[in-house]
Structure 1
Amino acid sequence: MAGKIMQAVQYDSYGGGAAALKHVEVPVPTPKKDEVLLKVEATSINPLDCKIQKGMFRPLLPPKFPFIPATDVTGEVVEVGSNVKSFKAGDKVVAMLSTKSGGGLAEYAVPKESLTVSRPAEVSAAEGAGLLIAGLTALQALVNPAEVKLNGTGPRKNILVTAASGGVGHYAVQLAKLGNAHVTATCGARNFDFVKSLGADEILDYKIPEGAALKSPSGQKYDAVINCTTGIPWSTFEPNLSSSGKVIDLTPGASSMWTFAVKKLTFSKKQLVPFLLNAKKENLELLVRLVKEGKLKTVIDSKFPLSKAEDAWSRSIDGHATGKIFVEP
């Protein structure tokens, strides 16, 4: 593929939202020895992508401009690096690109073999692309801090999932139910039926006082909260937690870190746990298998061609997607 040109979407500086995205022609990347070159079939847009553009992680992300955003892709292997043993040209895969290098909003991308897994025919390109940041976050939060056993063998836990109709939330509800948890979920009234269809036992409308207070309608105290939203103070969570309940904060800010420190220093049994994704190949393989077996579904909010990537970006910034947003080159 050396010397070939591809279509891509990039931005040249922080800020600007969808209007700052530029359609460009750039060289097709060459895979390093531990990478595979994919012809991209679907790319998932995550809130993280828009936060990076805003400059919330400067100066670390992005490390330089211009920057082609997005990390979650599916595609067909075109070429493999010299050390790659697991894949060959023609293989269909699900892959996560480095957050530093990005590259998902393009016709071709180069993930490392270590975060690339096979995609069976039963899993569509979009279904696979949704599983990366969002699916891996939901899985890790439930299995690690929340201690839910996905095979349903552990003690039954009461789990609260906030923003349950969004990308991470809709996976978290389904995975928690696989783990035999009792799930309370928050969402807007328009998504009640949708979140119920994912398996939620109880639903709270976050826009009304009762829902904003996060109290379980049946009086459950939560063993763990998968907090997929922002702006809820610890004082709202604490009275609703069981004696050793945890709030797993997926987007921790300064106040979260302060609460985390105070709870640690005072040996409180109720904890706030700041979350940091540790993407693992075996977890991605598990998620792909669950989709293949019909035990987990990726809900598609919308799909856009690469030529309309800025519309997908606007949809993500809007923050009201039901499920996942995709760009398909």
Structure 2
Amino acid sequence: MKAIFYEKHGDADVLQYGEQPKPEVKDGHILIRVHAASVNQVDWKMRAGSPLPVPVIGSPAIPGRDVAGEVVEIGKNVTPFKVGDKVFGMLSSTIGGAYAEFAVMPADVAVVMPANLNYKQAAAVPLTALTALQALRDKGELEPGERVLINGASSAVGIFAVQIAKALGAGEVIGTCSSDHIKLVKDLGADQVIDYKKEDFTKHKESYDLILDAVAKRTFAESKDSLTENGRYVTTVPNPKDIMGYVTSLFTDRKPKTMMVKDQGEDLALIKDWIETGSVKPIIDKVFSLKDAADAQRYSEKESASGKIIIEVIPDEEGVTKP
């Protein structure tokens, strides 16, 4: 099969396009003909050997966690799916494998695609939407009626966080972004938008029950005075500079929490329901071909995208070959 792979850590130049063995189906897994994948920061951070340059396991490594495609083979002990089903989901962070013509996924984390999405749109959903849901509901313990601030509301995670906060019953959702993305964030349902280049939310007298730092740009120490008495702060990436902030949290009811996304099929099924009812929608920033995956990662590394970056493995309306 054709795939993007790397044999050593480095910049995007280490990514190669060529033939790789088609993965074998294991018990409890399904083989997917990949139509689309998406780029997440974890893809290029692992490629770069960040934060630690660990050896490439099972070299050569195929990056990619988000996948949408068609089931072409089913392993033993799999009952929910049949050949031909359109599915989407999140692959393992240690294995990856989405930047390829075929990928293997545990059946219990795969979900039939929303009926109102195409493959590219479906590939934009899993990792970032799951991160937003689990950050707000599980780590942030969001309650109906609460006031939520999403720092980085036009980011890949932030776009879903604004919508999912509303779906979970937040009373008011405030998002921060640049002036270029204010309309997008308002259209997603934000009640108020702060242009972070003109205003610093930590300097306002406003307070929030929950702050989700979707871009890991503001520390708990910087944000804690903007929290209510029992407010929670959740970040997608812990900041080493925030050690003292976590220490001081021991003496207050304001709590910092760090998010580590889990590939839970039941959570993705809930997100699918929201998508089909129109409560949540994916936003695509740019689409690249599989051959151009290195350019897709370079674009992601600029951290200026508004929405998801998609890698299209099989262009829409094209015929596909049998595995």
Query: What's the offset of the Cα at 1:62?
Result: 4.6
Decide whether aligned partners of structure 1 residues 285 and 188 sit closer, same or farther in structure 2, where only a CA change above 3 A counts: same
Q: Contact 2:178 / 2:195 at 8 angstroms: preserved in 1?
A: yes
Q: TM-score, normalised by structure 2?
A: 0.91
Matched ranges for 1:82-161 at <5 A: 82-149=76-143, 154=144, 156-161=145-150
C-alpha distance in 1 between matches for 2:117 and 2:219: 39
1:102-126 per-residue CA deviation (whole Å, 9 max, x = no partner) reads 1010010001111111114322212
Query: What's the offset of the Cα at 1:257?
Result: 5.1
Query: What's the offset of the Cα at 1:215?
Result: 4.5
Out of 18, 43, 49, the position equivalent to 1:24 is 18
| Matched residue, 1:201 | 191
Q: Contact 2:194 / 2:201 at 8 angstroms: preserved in 1?
A: no
C-alpha distance in 1 between matches for 2:149 and 2:306: 18
Question: 1:19 is paired with a residue of what secondary structure?
Answer: helix
| Matched residue, 1:12 | 7
Aligned amino acid, residue 37 of structure 1: L
| Matched residue, 1:164 | 153
Matched ranges for 1:208-287 at <5 A: 208=198, 211-215=199-203, 219-256=205-242, 258-264=244-250, 266=251, 268-287=252-271
Decide whether aligned partners of structure 1 residues 256 and 133 sit closer, same or farther in structure 2, where only a CA change above 3 A counts: farther
C-alpha distance in 2 between matches for 1:28 and 1:22: 16
Alignment of 1:177 onto 2:172: no
| Matched residue, 1:325 | 309
Residue correspondences, number: 312
| Matched residue, 2:27 | 33
1:292-317 per-residue CA deviation (whole Å, 9 max, x = no partner) reads 11110000111111111112111111
| Matched residue, 1:306 | 290
| Matched residue, 1:187 | 177
Decide whether aligned partners of structure 1 residues 235 and 148 sit closer, same or farther in structure 2, where only a CA change above 3 A counts: closer
- Structure 2 unaligned regions, length at least 5: 314-323
Q: Contact 2:221 / 2:244 at 8 angstroms: preserved in 1?
A: no
C-alpha distance in 2 between matches for 1:259 and 1:22: 42
Q: Contact 1:96 / 1:115 at 8 angstroms: preserved in 2?
A: yes
Q: TM-score, normalised by structure 1?
A: 0.90
C-alpha distance in 2 between matches for 1:261 and 1:31: 47
- Structure 1 unaligned regions, length at least 5: 1-5
Q: CA RMSD in A?
A: 1.7
Decide whether aligned partners of structure 1 residues 327 and 223 sit closer, same or farther in structure 2, where only a CA change above 3 A counts: same
Query: What's the offset of the Cα at 1:231?
Result: 3.7
Q: Contact 2:142 / 2:210 at 8 angstroms: preserved in 1?
A: no
Query: What's the offset of the Cα at 1:57?
Result: 4.5
Query: What's the offset of the Cα at 1:25?
Result: 0.4
C-alpha distance in 1 between matches for 2:194 and 2:125: 25
